[in-house]
Amino acid sequence: MTLTVSDLTIARGGVPVLEGLNLTLAPGQALVIRGPNGIGKTTLLRTIAGLQPAVSGSVQGAEETIAYAGHSDGLKPTLTVTENLTFWASVFGLGSIQPALDAFDLNELAARHAGNLSAGQKRRLGLARLLVTGRPIWVLDEPTVSLDTRAVQMFADAVRAHLGQGGSAMIATHIDLGLEAQVLDVGPFRAKLPALDDFDGGFL
């Protein structure tokens, strides 16, 4: 499944942050999105994942194919690691959670409640969830936050394996993951700010 982004203009809080973006992401490909804080990386990923509407342009190939992992880990704190993964596997209709436990070294934590894990352990669990979605396009917003060096390596290995199986990944990150990837440098503001006297309810 190839993701095609055509002439995409996006906004946050009513303010355009990026305009006229074109890109494709084919099976087996990774795209790393870089850029300074506040430039619009999260807005772009949320728009591509269908979590917010585009101002104009289109995203094709996204429906039902994207697994999104954003800043919030979305874990259920009162469920154990195993229960969290089993829940998501059942939502997505997949069977074994063992590959996800193995890939992110979660076996020893399997019976622990997610709410009692450390920040890095929670992040590993959040990323392990990607493996039980069975979805081919991973859209990931700063996935390595809180991960130690070893866990970053685990994550990079999981992405490589995913690409090797015909998946693809779009990753906003500030670190070098050592992946063979296209790079999208989101440059300084490329859209026009609205006139100052334009009232914008999006800021309220």
Ligand X SMILES: Nc1ncnc2c1ncn2[C@@H]1O[C@H](COP(=O)(O)OP(=O)(O)OP(=O)(O)O)[C@@H](O)[C@H]1O
Interface positions with ligand X (CB under 6 A): 12-13, 17, 35, 37-43, 203
Identity of the residue, 17 or 30, whose beta carbon is nearer to ligand X in the bound complex: 17
CB 115 to ligand X: min, Å = 25
* Closest to 179 (Cα-Cα) out of 4, 28, 21, 26: 28
Identity of the residue, 112 or 190, whose beta carbon is nearer to ligand X in the bound complex: 190
Identity of the residue, 199 or 203, whose beta carbon is nearer to ligand X in the bound complex: 203
CB 160 to ligand X: min, Å = 24
Which two three-digit tokens encode residue 135?
């979805």
**Number of helices and strands (H, E) in the chain?**
5, 8
- Distance separating the N- and C-terminal Cα atoms of the chain: 38
Which two three-digit tokens encode residue 129?
């969830």
CB 37 to ligand X: min, Å = 3
CB 71 to ligand X: min, Å = 7
Within 13 A of 185's CA, how many CA atoms are on the CB side? Answer: 2
Identity of the residue, 41 or 162, whose beta carbon is nearer to ligand X in the bound complex: 41
**Can you list the positions of beta strands (E) in 28-167?**
30-34, 56-60, 66-69, 137-141
Position of minimal CB gap to ligand X: 13
| Rounded Cα distance, 75 and 81, in Å | 9
Beta strand 137-141 pairing with 66-69: parallel
Identity of the residue, 43 or 84, whose beta carbon is nearer to ligand X in the bound complex: 43
Identity of the residue, 41 or 131, whose beta carbon is nearer to ligand X in the bound complex: 41
CB 203 to ligand X: min, Å = 6
CB 63 to ligand X: min, Å = 22
Positive/negative CA dihedral, 95, 98, 101, 103: negative
